[in-house]
């Protein structure tokens, strides 16, 4: 019951990312999705525009009914050919998991078309409201089912807070807009970011650095 409620709320994340193409039956926008997982975002996307993904774990998508809609699959953002360009680069509940977040965002900025958009939705990790939200839904069900603390899993899975993610986006993009599922950033469960006009010099400098 609790996880079902959480899943219905999480649909907001997917719908925000897909909003620019979901209402258009003639869109041919090229897309690169970061951290595509089980390909569940494709339920919300039109079936006729070129769609590439970055996902290192093949077991997540290998049996997906949406796999035939994917044009190219990359195991890492750095594996995407530098000459590739996308109208939109998307991610859904992914950026909070990425250990090399600045590098991934920098590379994304370089892969966007001139008027391309980086579209990302994330949980409001690091806020009290978000913590209360998962504790009363997924966390409660996890404890009842397994007798374990879901919070320990979250500490290992969510390596970036929402505030840290926003700071990275604002460093690499000139225009960053935020929409929340809630009242404010602090009083929200989820956030959606729409980023335009990458700062190419910063993106290039960081993407070409040798990182340990």
Structure tokens at 135: 């504790």
Tens-digit pLDDT profile for residues 158-198: 789 999 999 999 999 999 999 999 899 988 889 999 999 99
| The CATH homologous superfamily of the domain defined by 2-207 | Vaccinia Virus protein VP39 (3.40.50.150)
> In the chain, where are the structural domains located?
2-207
Task: Please classify residue 43 by burial: count the beta carbons closer than 10 Å to its beta carbon, then call 0-12 exposed, 13-18 middle and 19+ buried.
Answer: exposed
Report the alpha-carbon distance of residue 187 to residue 185 in Å, rounded: 6
Sign of CA dihedral 78, 80, 85, 91: negative
Tens-digit pLDDT profile for residues 16-59: 999 999 876 656 899 999 999 999 999 999 888 899 999 999 99
Q: What's the predicted TM-score (pTM) here?
A: 0.87
């Amino acid at each position: 019951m609790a996880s079902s409620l959480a899943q219905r709320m999480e649909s907001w994340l997917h719908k925000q990312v897909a909003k620019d193409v979901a209402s258009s039956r003639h869109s041919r926008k090229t897309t690169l999705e970061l951290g595509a997982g089980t390909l569940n975002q494709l339920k919300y996307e039109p079936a006729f525009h070129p769609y590439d993904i970055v996902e290192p774990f093949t077991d997540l998508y290998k049996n997906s009914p949406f796999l035939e809609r994917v044009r190219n699959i990359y195991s890492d953002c750095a594996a995407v050919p530098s000459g590739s360009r996308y109208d939109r680069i998307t991610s859904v509940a992914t950026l909070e998991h990425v250990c090399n977040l600045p590098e991934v965002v920098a590379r994304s900025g370089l892969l966007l078309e001139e008027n391309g958009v980086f579209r990302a939705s994330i949980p409001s990790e690091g806020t009290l409201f978000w913590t209360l939200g998962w504790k009363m839904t997924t966390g409660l069900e996890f404890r009842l089912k397994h007798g374990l603390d879901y919070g320990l899993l979250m500490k290992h899975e969510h390596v970036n807070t929402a505030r840290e993610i926003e700071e990275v986006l604002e460093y690499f993009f000139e225009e960053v807009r935020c929409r929340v599922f809630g009242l404010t950033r602090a009083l929200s469960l989820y956030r959606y970011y729409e980023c335009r006009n990458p700062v190419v010099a910063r993106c290039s400098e960081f993407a070409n650095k040798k990182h340990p």
